[in-house]
A and B are shown apart, each in its own frame.
Chain A
């Protein structure tokens, strides 16, 4: 059916594709492990130099990177937990009930996808000032969740659509309340999709920049995205230090993603939006 030549061409194309996908991440690692002298050499150093690992120790002590990563983790985990808590019941309602206003709820969830974060920064700033949420990580979690909840709700609705009704009826006969059914029967069945949705919400919180840049001003509440961006155009910090921070910010996310990507892909496919 297939000639060896076309197979070889396909493999070559796949290799090019993978190289392009991985190279910038690899280059971040290489640069973070390059000596100051080699950074500006005529021929760039193409492989990481383990002897330069002390650069990471220097980065820990000279920058706030550990605090930044801690703050990003708090925001990411908070966004994840709050998104899931808020999304489960509406996802179930969208999947299992016919009710007046269902279309409006669907539209509300979709409409949020159209609003740029940068557009809501100014009014949110004013609202947060009134609610004493400015300059708090809790405020960032609340702002981020507004953008993740709609997506998570759609993904979970798609998963619940695939759960047979009979499972619920057995619990119903046993006299379970509706919320009890959702939590004890439906949630365990859609657990893989729930995990995928959690990852998506976590990443949103981990990556977010605009809100973290404008709604928080304290140095010790900076997230890694804001900390890293603060070096751009600032010339006194050597590039291998900046890249070391980039690696510490990127690599955990990428490795975590590689561990769970199977579930994420399956979850996204399950929740593929149907109108």
Chain B
């Protein structure tokens, strides 16, 4: 009988914390353990966020930040009144939606291809994740070169195929720039979803799969019955993360197009950076940032609400 076990009853009545009763019972231990990280995040994330929020209600120039005027909701009202800001929202929504759908769909396709054993599977699984290990700025640089109008390898291939779209300047063309950026982004991030889904596929029950096969089910039915229910929560989580990351992504787009041509690839974060460092209006930039953060927050709340509802529904069935 250890001394910790003897103290257990008193522990469960402790108003602050219940340590893992079988170990020592100092109720302050978890707080001591968490304190450094909480202070760190409050200093380098919480406090800057608060300052950004305050800044969004002011008119502040990057050149003279000392002279800051309180303007209330004016920055927000001006954003809402500008058609080009709604275009930024539209580009952001399109970019995010296509990233989510294609990165996860391709990731799932790759995961299904690499799931069952074959010779060289280990090497194939390693190679397929390479894009994810490459630095985004380097990826942006090499894709910009491959997409070069005159000397890029893409247009060379298109000419070989004798399509009528050779010599197009991808990143300078308002209609082609966003597809080019999307192509680059998805190339970089789909390996992440394939790694996560490969892990999830290990949870697929062999019995259910075999039972479906014995019943003579085709591949699609087997997927629906045996695979999809197992990986669905993982797919939902991926949707959340790819959405949040797409809303945050800056480096790849900035290096490739800086949001151009004529705003065709200008997402919220690019707009925020442009306002802060090109237009030098810190207050307006902060307001853009707050709009972006609100969207991320809404997406997250919807995700948690939907997953809880799904869990409750499963509990009832």
Binding site for B on A (CB under 8 A): 1, 10-11, 13-14, 17-18, 20-22, 24-25, 27-28, 31, 39-40, 43-44, 86-87, 89-90, 92-94, 96-102, 105, 108-110, 112-124, 126-127, 142-143, 145-146, 149-150, 153, 165, 168-169, 172-173, 178, 203, 206-207, 209-210, 214, 224-225, 228-229, 231-232, 239, 242-243, 246, 249-250, 253-254, 257-258, 261-262, 265, 268-269, 272-273, 275
Chain B, interface size: which category? Answer: 35 or more
Whether A25 lies near B134 (C-beta < 8 A) is yes
> Smallest Cβ distance from A42 to chain B, in angstroms?
9
Partner of B128, one of A21, A90, A118: A21
Q: B residues within 8 A CB of A98?
A: 17-18, 20
A207 CA to B251 CA, complexed, in Å: 10
> Smallest Cβ distance from A153 to chain B, in angstroms?
7
A149 CA to B38 CA, complexed, in Å: 10
Whether B30 lies near A249 (C-beta < 8 A) is no
Whether A114 lies near B296 (C-beta < 8 A) is yes
23 A-B pairs with C-beta separation under 8 A: A14-B124, A17-B128, A21-B129, A44-B156, A89-B37, A90-B33, A93-B33, A94-B34, A96-B23, A100-B17, A114-B296, A114-B297, A118-B250, A119-B269, A120-B45, A122-B276, A172-B23, A173-B2, A209-B136, A209-B254, A243-B141, A261-B126, A265-B129
A87 CA to B114 CA, complexed, in Å: 33
Q: B residues within 8 A CB of A25?
A: 130, 134, 142
Whether A269 lies near B199 (C-beta < 8 A) is yes
Whether A249 lies near B41 (C-beta < 8 A) is no
A123 CA to B241 CA, complexed, in Å: 25
Binding site for A on B (CB under 8 A): 2, 4, 16-20, 22-24, 26-27, 29-34, 36-38, 40-41, 44-45, 47-49, 51-52, 55, 62, 65, 110, 113-114, 118, 124-131, 133-146, 150-151, 153, 156, 187, 191, 195-196, 198-199, 213, 234, 237, 241, 244, 247-248, 250-251, 254-256, 269, 272-273, 276-277, 282, 285-286, 289, 292-293, 296-297, 300, 307
